[in-house]
Amino acid sequence: EVGFDLYMRMVGDAVTEYKKGFIAGESEIKECKVEIPISAHLDATYVPSDRLRLDIYRRLADAREAKDVESIREELEDRFGDLPVEALELLRIATLRTFLKSHGITELALQGKYLKIAPVKLTESLQMRVQRLYPGSIVKSATSVLMVARPKQAAWEISGVSDEEKIGDTSLLDWVIEVVETILRSAAHSDKER
């Protein structure tokens, strides 16, 4: 079974080369790598055809706006019924990816105790706001990297919780979306004021 992340890795280079070679005059579309340890995929029991699953993954990867992801969601519900949790999480990640791309972000990854967001440029006031909202965060201005400190006690950190439960815990994705929207909307707002 091919998952969404594996699919993205398999075709990422091919898509980039295709767009560079065949779409003359169009600005290069930067891909956005999202690496969050949650279960997000289209299960073979939900979408039985490998070809169709790969096509849906491709369409999600090519989505430019949240409405593109929403139309895929409607199509899936129409053809296969209610979406399982893993498929819903896949669509949430695809929507998050469109938001990140629209703000020029090319990488969002959970690394140890931090959520890495790059590239991101923050004014001094926004850097202070990030430090206040997410104590322990690190701003690397020279490399345009923001390392947002994770909360101290979340379901995915508590000892005694199995890896399966941690991966199935959607509160991590909720937190990531909240962080990204808070920071990037503030950054976009401060850019407009300049």
pLDDT along the chain (194 residues), means of 10: 65 64 54 92 95 95 95 97 96 96 95 96 93 95 95 58 55 94 84 60
Integer Cα distance of 130 and 125 in angstroms: 9
Task: Using alpha carbons only, give the angle 66, 187, 59 rounded to the nearest 5 degrees.
Answer: 20
* Per-chain mean pLDDT for the chain: 84
pLDDT of residue 125: 93
| Six-digit token string for 36 | 């969050």
pLDDT of residue 164: 54
pLDDT of residue 185: 87
Integer Cα distance of 188 and 27 in angstroms: 21
pLDDT of residue 31: 85
pLDDT (tens digit, 9 = 90+) per residue, 109-140?
999 999 999 999 999 999 999 999 999 999 99
Residue owning tokens 């003359």: 24
pLDDT of residue 28: 55
pLDDT of residue 111: 94
Kind and range of the H or E run holding 89: helix 85-102
Angle separating helix axes 171-193 and 124-133, nearest 10 degrees: 160
Integer Cα distance of 194 and 192 in angstroms: 6
Measured in whole angstroms, the distance separating CA 157 from the mean position of its chain's CA atoms is: 20
pLDDT (tens digit, 9 = 90+) per residue, 156-177?
454 555 555 554 556 899 999 9
Residue owning tokens 């909307």: 185
